[in-house]
Each structure stands twice: as C-alpha cells, then as structure tokens.
Chains A and B, each alone.
Chain A
Amino acid sequence: MFNAKVKSEVLKGIIDVVSPLVNEVKFNITPKGISLRAVDPAHVAMVDLEIKSDAFDEYKATNMELGIDMDKFASIIRLSTSNDMVNLEYDEDTNRLIIKIGNLVRKMGLIDTTGMPDPKMPNLNLPAKVVLKASELTQGVRASETVSDHLALTVNKDDFELFAEGDTDTVNLKLPKDLLLELDTNSKCKSLFSIDYFSNMIKPVRGDDPITIMIGNDNPIRVEFNIAENKGHVTYLLAPRIESE
C-alpha cells in the first residue's frame, strides 16, 4: 500500500538524481520513507537515495517495491510546476501508479521488480574528505567540459584541486582550505574521473548547498549531499579512470 502527497520539486529532485544514471529503478517503500539503490548499465556509477516520509506532505505506506521507468515518470512529472502538489497512489488491482497533478489523473504501468538486483555498496578506503559549496565545484566542471572528457581531483593537506587537460588547453581550479567547509586528509589523494558522469552527479545540487566528497588514490569517488530540504540524502559512487600512461 502506498499513498503520498508531495511537492513536485521533491520528485523532480529524485528524478534529476537518478535518471542520468539508470532508467529502470526499484523504489523500496516502507512506512518510514523511500529508498533506492541502482547501478548504471556500464557499472561505472552507483546511486543510493533515501528520502524520509516527512519530506512528503502526506505519507501512508506499508513495505513494498515499485518498479519505476524513470523516463516515463520524468515525462509525467514534467507536466507539473515545482510548486504543484502531486499525489502518488499505488493501485493494487491493476499494478499501476496513479499520479494526480491538479485535476489531471495519469495512471502509469509499473515494471516487474522480480529479478531487479539489490546492488551492494562496495567498502572503499577513501582517506581524504572535502566538504564544499556546490557552486565552487560546478564552475570548474563546466570549464573542464570544453577541454577534456575527464578530470583529476586531488586533495592535498591544504587545498582541493580540480585539473583537466586537453590537447592544447587546460583548466585548473585550486581551492585553499579557507574556501572550503571542511578538508581532512593525512596524505595527498588523487583520482581521475569522467567529466560526463561527474557533472551529472553534481548537477542536481543547489549552488549554496554543501557537497561532501571522499577520495582515495585511483579509487572510486564518493559524493554525498542532501535533497528535499535535508529530508533526503544522496550518495553517489563513481569508478575512476586510469591515467593515460
């Protein structure tokens, strides 16, 4: 059983976080809230999202799973504006999700969740931690997009650095400790990442909101931030790229 009423922008936030990575997602519904975990088809990135029931204006649920086609879901929610209230209700008889936006009723078929995996979050050794405002990072990433398809992130004892290099052009962003909200590392840590994947991961975060980044050496990166006014939490993992040499 699932019946909830929530502001459209909360759903748009979930869609922005999940859909760049994967299209078919299993939503785990409990009385306390919704969670999901999915890996992209190339197995390069993982998203883990939890959203508490108090992010919703109304929320009533029992333990169940909903298989959602994110493209379809996104095209429906796009019909609403951010402040619209959206009503979601699971229809057991027809196995559909009934989405109500104002007077519009849209019934959406669900995906069979049997066989949908529950990916495990790998245990990673990521000794360096940086917390910074999203806006500090997005500028560097946007600059890197026209230069290369990958970037290097380095955490030093006193600063956090983003570097991208193309055939003839480079981008360098160095943020000293005092421009960061937090910097914690015992040694220098550096890893390379695909700009495409990385930029999709940080795109949903509002400029002023903090992003937590954990890096190791040639290890996956762990990116964390809150959504839905801190009532939702997102964790991303992105596998690294190997150095060209």
Chain B
Amino acid sequence: MTKNLVNPNNTDALEFIKKNHTNKPDKTMLILAGDCLIDYKGRARSLLDWGERVIMIKQDGTLLVHQPEMREPINWQPTGSKTEFKIKEDKLVLKSYIKKPPEKMKIKFRNIKFITAISLKDKAKLIISGMELDFVNQIINNPSIIEEGLRVVKREKPVKSGMIDLFCYDKNHTPVIIEVKRSLANISSVHQLRMYVKDTKKDVDKANVRGILCAPKIPDMVKHLLLDYGLEWIEVERKIMLPDDKQKTLKEFAE
C-alpha cells in the first residue's frame, strides 16, 4: 500500500493521515515533509524553531526528524511511541509520546509539502563482518551502553584540535564528548580528550562539558590521570567487546 499527497492543506492532510495511517489495521509508515516547529520534553527540553524538515514515523512508532543536511536525525522519539494528529490554531499538530522513558514531542506544521503513507515488510537481519561492527556504532544504536538518557547528536565532529568521535548531550543537557579507543587506552588518549573538551567549552560557550574515554582496557595510571583532569571513563564490558579476529575460541579445540 502506497498513498501520496502533495502540498495538502491542513484538513486534507489530517483526513489523509486518519484514513491511511491511523485507521489502518496494518501498521503503516508515515513520511512527511514541511515547515515545522518542534517542542521536545523528556529528560531534557529542546525547541527547534521553524524550518523545513522530513519527519518519519516508523511502523513501530519510532519517530525521526531529519534536517536537509547532515547524517544524524536532529531529534527522535523511541520505539513504542504513540502518535496523535489534530488541527490546532489552524496548524496540523503531531504529538508523539511514550511513558517509559517519559518523552513527549510536539511538531507543529505551518506548511506541508508532501505526505506518504506506506506499508513496508522487512524481516532481514543485517549481517556484519567482524571489522565493520564498530563500538562507536554500538553506542549510536544504544546510547544507554554509556548511560541512560544520553543522546548522540554528532559523529566525527571537527574541533580545533582534531575530530571528536561522538558529540552527545546527557539527560541534563550537558554536552558530552566521547572518545573511543579500540584497544588499550594510554596517556596520550587522555590528553587528546582533554583538548577536545577544552575546544568544545569554547565552541558551545559552556563551562560544563563532560569528557568520557571509552576503551576495552584502561590501566590504573590512566584512570588516575583522567580523575586529575576531571574526566570520566568507561571500560567496555566483555559482553559488548568487538569480535576479535585474533582471539580463538575453545570451540576450535573441541573434538
């Protein structure tokens, strides 16, 4: 099922959505583009002023907001979110909400360019070879590996002294710089992170910027240095360590 509507007015848009998305027994995906204002309230608050974006509501309630540029969504709602549409003050309003974790997003449209309602079937699982599955990707897919409420905003963000692996915001809306090392963390990793935090403090003009060093193994000496500089660390648990081509398993030695 694929249904499209181009440049609709509010009433037609709402009717289309009700008919092809809300009232459909099969779950449908909804893609809209338009000039909108986004008010988000969860463990943090954010307001994205009027601008033209693409909104995607997936078949499981996941919602993504994509601006015309950059790879990552500028905002999102988690899987299981519920969506409601209505017209208020002559604007189409989309409300997405979820109880656990408690997150609410209100998207107001003053102009809709297109709406597509589509039902997609995809049960395929991504097959990834050992080298491709990056720990950085794992954090992006599941930021709660680092901590609850962490939101990844940008990957490979350039700053004066180099390139930040992951630029995030924590639940208190404090910027968080995450530096990922694939093997042993050493003293130069600490200095690198320290410089990134310093650069970011200048860029975002905020006194409070957190820095977290992630590595499979962090020697005590390096931990002490991190503490001295007011930085944090996370040692990756074995459970989510990268598949390691150089490590054999006991299965290879069984009869």
- A residues sitting closer than 8 Å to B (CB atoms) are 39-46, 120, 122-124, 145-146, 148-150, 166, 194-196, 219-220, 237, 239-242, 244
Contact = CB atoms under 8 A, between A and B. Distances in A.
18 contacts: A41-B239, A44-B247, A44-B249, A46-B250, A122-B254, A145-B219, A146-B219, A146-B221, A149-B184, A166-B184, A196-B216, A219-B253, A220-B248, A239-B247, A239-B250, A241-B247, A242-B247, A242-B248
A242 B248 CA distance: 7
B217 interface: yes
Q: Which residue among B217, B239, B251 has the maximum number of chain A CB atoms within 10 Å of its CB?
A: B217
Contacts of B246: 150, 241-242, 244
Given A43-B250, A122-B250, A194-B247, A149 B217 contact: yes
Q: Which bucket holds chain B's interface residue count?
A: 20 to 34
A220 B241 CA distance: 20
Interface string B226-240: 000000000000110
Interface string B174-201: 0000000001100000000000000000
Interface of B: 183-184, 216-217, 219, 221, 238-239, 241, 245-255
A166 B49 CA distance: 51
Contacts of B252: 239
A237 B248 CA distance: 12
Contacts of B216: 149, 196
Nearest to A220: B253
Interface centre among B221, B238, B245, B255 (most CB of A within 10 A): B238
Contacts of A194: 247
Contact of B248 (A41, A46, A120, A239): A239
Nearest to B183: A149
A124 B241 contact: no
The dominant DSSP class at the A interface is: loop
B253 A120 contact: no
Contact of A45 (B217, B239, B250): B250
A46 to B, nearest CB: 6
Contacts of B183: 149
Question: Top 10 closest A-B pairs, CB basis?
Answer: A43-B249, A146-B219, A239-B248, A122-B254, A122-B253, A239-B250, A242-B246, A241-B246, A241-B247, A149-B184
A149 B242 CA distance: 14
Nearest to B187: A146
A124 B253 contact: yes
B233 to A, nearest CB: 15
Given A146-B221, A196-B217, A239 B184 contact: no
A220 B251 CA distance: 11
B71 to A, nearest CB: 31
A40 B231 CA distance: 32
A124 B247 CA distance: 18
B249 A239 contact: yes
A7 B151 CA distance: 46
A149 to B, nearest CB: 5
A8 B155 CA distance: 48
A237 B250 CA distance: 8
A43 B239 CA distance: 11
Nearest to A23: B239
Contacts of B249: 42-44, 239
A43 B217 contact: no
B219 A42 contact: no
Given A123-B255, A145-B219, A196-B216, A240 B250 contact: no
A186 to B, nearest CB: 21
A220 to B, nearest CB: 6
A196 B241 CA distance: 12
A162 B241 CA distance: 25
